[in-house]
A and B are shown apart, each in its own frame.
Chain A
Amino acid sequence: MTEYVIIGDGISGSSAAETLREEDPESSITVITDEGEALYNRILIKEHAKGKLPEAPISIHEEDWYAERDIELSLNTHVTGVDTDEKVVHTHEGDEIGYDKLLIATGGTPTQLPVDDSDAEGIHHFWTFQDARKIRESAEAAEKGVIVGAGLLGIDFAAVCGAQGVEGKYLMRGDRWWRYALSGEGAEIMHEGMREVGVEPVFDSGVDRFETDDDGKVVAAIGPDGERYECDFAGVAIGLTFNTEYLGDIDLEQDNGILVDQYMQTNLEDVYAAGDITRFYDVLLGEQAQNGSWGSAKEQGRIAGVNMAADDEAEEFEWVSSYSITHFDFPFLSFGHPTLGDEHAERKYSDTEWRRIAFKDGKVVGGVLIGDLSPQSKLKQLMREQRDVADQKEVLLEETVDLDDLAPPQEQ
């Protein structure tokens, strides 16, 4: 009987556990998480923080779910070390859990701002359900908010401020939101969306330090130019630090994430990784890449489970990731790797409609759609087919994309 141990009960770990049970009914499966609750819907917790969604629908698995599948779930258990020679996992309580095959699915933790008082009361980071509960409570009582981090997670704080009636200042380092994926024209649509919910973008700014009152509660953020922004709520989303500390000095190949191949195998025998924490070999891109999205993490967990159970390279991970923003009147979708690419094509269609496509070596590798998402499936299809289309940008920028208008693919 094979003993599988999975560290992390996020969507990647949980999806691997489910797959392992289906693929290897006789095995022993242990899932270890340092959170106090079983798998929940991490991509819905922002709706709870906004005050729009009650807690119950956010839960995905009750503890029964694991028991019914004969999966051992250890809640509130922090893994402190892994010995890959002895094949043992150490926990904070001093327990040792042996494994035949190990899956590392521990994701990341939001990075703190390296400034004074960055952990003062009223300053929030957003990753867990517990964070969401605190953010909701704090935002409900707040009047003025400051947000730092001009990316996909920062904008959730802007939406919380908007929904909770908190007057927000969104302090951004450069001249626009998500400058690595959007041009000024596309970003301006997002800025307008923020303004409409009562959050003002402030450019070429940031936080040099926070000010607190005598009780240690945040009262203001000070920008690099000395500008003072009063606030009783602050949201910081400047990036993720991957949870690899407990892996110590084992010989696991890492490069800002754990390196895995397309089968989710690390360089160490019987050690796999899945989800946000991986830098995986992307078969479509032809190089290592990273995704930070729910669908990708779920699929990586499934693929890891299939290959762990098969004890073979049975199925490879091939996926076009996507990530939506649903906070404004218009939809937003980023897909693939919009920040990569050596060429780009973009067009604005109306005040709320914009499209940008990223190409690498002539092929579509990602993009961002605002307002009109109808081309998404066709653009993803081109990515999967790895077609050389960078010389036909006009067709891809037509309001209605018709793939039949593309020149037929060249025979290799």
Chain B
Amino acid sequence: MATTTSTGRSLTLRRVDSVAPDATVRHIDQLDDRTLERFYAALEGGCQLTATGTDLVPGTVVVATDYYRVEAA
């Protein structure tokens, strides 16, 4: 089901207050189970996550209890 990125890059999550009109935005319920688990683990543990096996790409804003922009670490 999930599309996966093949890189082993690290990503970070940065909390943002606003979203640019040209941003790609995803609601947390659009993440597959594995990405969701990594996403929440990253919020708990300093906002770092590995891109491998998730379908998150830099630049995407994820809407959770706050808005988080995915950035390359």
Bound together, the chains give a CA A47 to CA B40 distance in angstroms of 20
Contacts known (A56-B21, A377-B37); A331 close to B29, Cβ less than 8 A: no
For A262-294 the 0/1 string (1 means CB < 8 A from B) is: 000000000000000000000000000000011
With a cutoff of 8 Å between Cβ atoms, the chain B residues found around residue A327 in the complex are: 65
What residue of chain B has the Cβ atom nearest to residue A55's Cβ?
B21
Bound together, the chains give a CA A380 to CA B63 distance in angstroms of 22
Bound together, the chains give a CA A299 to CA B36 distance in angstroms of 17
What residue of chain A has the Cβ atom nearest to residue B23's Cβ?
A57
- Does A242 count as interface, using CB distance less than 8 angstroms? no
Residue pair A299, B1 in contact (C-beta under 8 Å): yes
CB distance from B71 to the nearest CB of A (A): 17
Residue pair B64, A53 in contact (C-beta under 8 Å): no
Residue pair A331, B27 in contact (C-beta under 8 Å): no
Residue pair A43, B25 in contact (C-beta under 8 Å): no
For B58-69 the 0/1 string (1 means CB < 8 A from A) is: 000101110100
Contacts known (A43-B30, A326-B28); A54 close to B65, Cβ less than 8 A: no
What residue of chain B has the Cβ atom nearest to residue A57's Cβ?
B25
CB distance from A60 to the nearest CB of B (A): 10
CB distance from B31 to the nearest CB of A (A): 9
Residue pair B24, A324 in contact (C-beta under 8 Å): no
- Does A322 count as interface, using CB distance less than 8 angstroms? yes
For A11-55 the 0/1 string (1 means CB < 8 A from B) is: 000000000000000000000000000000101100100001111
With a cutoff of 8 Å between Cβ atoms, the chain B residues found around residue A110 in the complex are: none
What residue of chain B has the Cβ atom nearest to residue A373's Cβ?
B40
Residue pair A57, B27 in contact (C-beta under 8 Å): no
With a cutoff of 8 Å between Cβ atoms, the chain B residues found around residue A54 in the complex are: 19, 21
With a cutoff of 8 Å between Cβ atoms, the chain B residues found around residue A329 in the complex are: 65
Residue pair A56, B22 in contact (C-beta under 8 Å): yes
Residue pair A380, B25 in contact (C-beta under 8 Å): no
Instruction: Count A interface residues, CB 8 Å.
Output: 29
Bound together, the chains give a CA A9 to CA B21 distance in angstroms of 23
Contacts known (A299-B1, A330-B65, A331-B65); A324 close to B29, Cβ less than 8 A: yes
CB distance from B59 to the nearest CB of A (A): 11
Residue pair A294, B29 in contact (C-beta under 8 Å): yes
- Does A240 count as interface, using CB distance less than 8 angstroms? no
Residue pair A294, B27 in contact (C-beta under 8 Å): yes
Residue pair A57, B21 in contact (C-beta under 8 Å): yes
With a cutoff of 8 Å between Cβ atoms, the chain A residues found around residue B40 in the complex are: 331, 373-374
Residue pair B29, A57 in contact (C-beta under 8 Å): no
What residue of chain A has the Cβ atom nearest to residue B22's Cβ?
A56
Bound together, the chains give a CA A57 to CA B67 distance in angstroms of 13
Residues 293-312 (chain A) with a chain B CB within 8 angstroms: 293-295, 299
- Does A238 count as interface, using CB distance less than 8 angstroms? no
Residue pair A44, B63 in contact (C-beta under 8 Å): yes
Task: Say which residue of A52, A295, A299, A374 sits within 8 Å of B29 (CB atoms).
Answer: A295
Contacts known (A53-B19, A54-B21, A299-B1); A43 close to B64, Cβ less than 8 A: no
Closest A-B pairs by Cβ, 6 of them: A57-B25, A56-B21, A43-B27, A54-B21, A377-B37, A324-B28
Task: Give me 4 other A-B pairs in contact (C-beta within 8 A), A52-B67, A299-B1 excluded.
Answer: A53-B19, A293-B29, A326-B63, A377-B33
11 inter-chain pairs at a CB distance below 8 angstroms, sorted by A residue, are A41-B27, A53-B63, A54-B21, A55-B21, A57-B23, A294-B29, A295-B29, A295-B30, A323-B29, A374-B41, A376-B33
Give residues in A with beta carbon < 8 Å to B.
41, 43-44, 47, 52-58, 293-295, 299, 322-324, 326-331, 373-374, 376-377, 380
Give residues in B with beta carbon < 8 Å to A.
1, 19, 21-25, 27-30, 33-34, 36-37, 40-41, 44, 61, 63-65, 67
